[in-house]
Structure 1
């Protein structure tokens, strides 16, 4: 079994350093080019993907759609792959968070696993959500190669486990 991890392309909020979490923003022109470059690289490779699992968040879902089209395979929305929920901090710039709530900013930016943003979820809880998905998914899937389309922290959580 081979798993290919793909992070979503650059979004408007990535460029503006706005905290996204479960919120979404459109891909930038650069993000569109990144997507096209990834698809071109896959076109030149010998990868054969049988299924794409994607976070249902727009930025990852878009990438998942494009990859599923490229590989002529199914695309499955998997809520367990969603980004960590940042609650009240979603839509706020990182600079504003640093200025208005430096302790929370430090906890978020140093990846304090137990810190839970107001109205959000801790990194530990988000990681557990993803970890619980893997055994179920591995047991139920008889696929040799598949892609997981993720957001930033979800991507890092996968790499750690």
Structure 2
């Protein structure tokens, strides 16, 4: 039985500005680096065997901080990237509302049906993430595996593991450096913990 520890990257400058990141990038803030450090020390007790990270800048920064504390090497995997938001990347919500009002309404009310210009849709994201985690689950056995990824990707992955419809996207919350734990048992994946940010208490 493998156990996956799935975490979101630390706070970025674009998080503060409310900009859509997608596969664009924004560096971690000082607070984001501190969040990653706190998460790393929380993860020590779980005896992580392997670390896999998205290859985008903000997850590379986060996984590097965790790696230095856990003394484990990081392997980068494109399958863990954030959704590609196409023309929306770098835009604030207000800018998206003004330029793409019709699509934005669909995105907020029926996200699984939204076709954002030049973007990846949620179904394609789901397939990419499941392919990645299923590959890692077959590659390893009885291991504690850390995945460093992104908010939208983690929400879609959790919904997919639950067998829940992607229309439920907004029913899951993922804060910066949130910890989620999933066990793969004989009868399938079991979600043990979601959006745990207890390591950030007092912020």
TM-score, structure 1 normalization: 0.91
**Matching of residues 61-80 of structure 1 within 5 Å:** 61-80=60-79
- Give the 3 Å change call, closer, same or farther, for CA 35–110 of structure 1 in structure 2: farther
The answer as to 2:133 corresponding to 1:134 is yes
Measure how far apart 1:32 and its partner are: 1.7
Give the Cα separation in 2 of the matches to 1:134 and 1:56: 15
- Give the 3 Å change call, closer, same or farther, for CA 129–159 of structure 1 in structure 2: same
Query: Does the 8 Å CA contact 1:54/1:61 hold for their aligned counterparts?
Result: yes
Determine which structure has the larger strand proportion and give its number.
2
Give a deviation string over 1:116-157, Cα, whole Å, max 9, x none: 311111011111111122222211123511101011111112
Measure how far apart 1:53 and its partner are: 0.7
Q: Which moved more, 1:47-56 or 1:59-68?
A: 59-68
Q: Which moved more, 1:57-66 or 1:5-14?
A: 57-66
TM-score, structure 2 normalization: 0.73
Q: Which moved more, 1:55-64 or 1:34-43?
A: 34-43
Report runs of 4+ in structure 1 exceeding 2 Å deviation.
39-43, 106-111
Give the Cα separation in 2 of the matches to 1:153 and 1:125: 13
- Give the 3 Å change call, closer, same or farther, for CA 22–72 of structure 1 in structure 2: same
Aligned residues: 159
Q: Specify every segment of 5 or more residues in structure 2 that has no aligned partner in the other structure, as ranges.
A: 162-203
Partner residue in 1 for 2:39: 38
Measure how far apart 1:13 and its partner are: 0.5
Measure how far apart 1:36 and its partner are: 2.0
- Give the 3 Å change call, closer, same or farther, for CA 22–16 of structure 1 in structure 2: same
Query: Does the 8 Å CA contact 1:50/1:71 hold for their aligned counterparts?
Result: no
Give a deviation string over 1:80-125, Cα, whole Å, max 9, x none: 1111101111111111101221122223334612323111110111
Measure how far apart 1:69 and its partner are: 2.0
Give the Cα separation in 2 of the matches to 1:66 and 1:143: 25
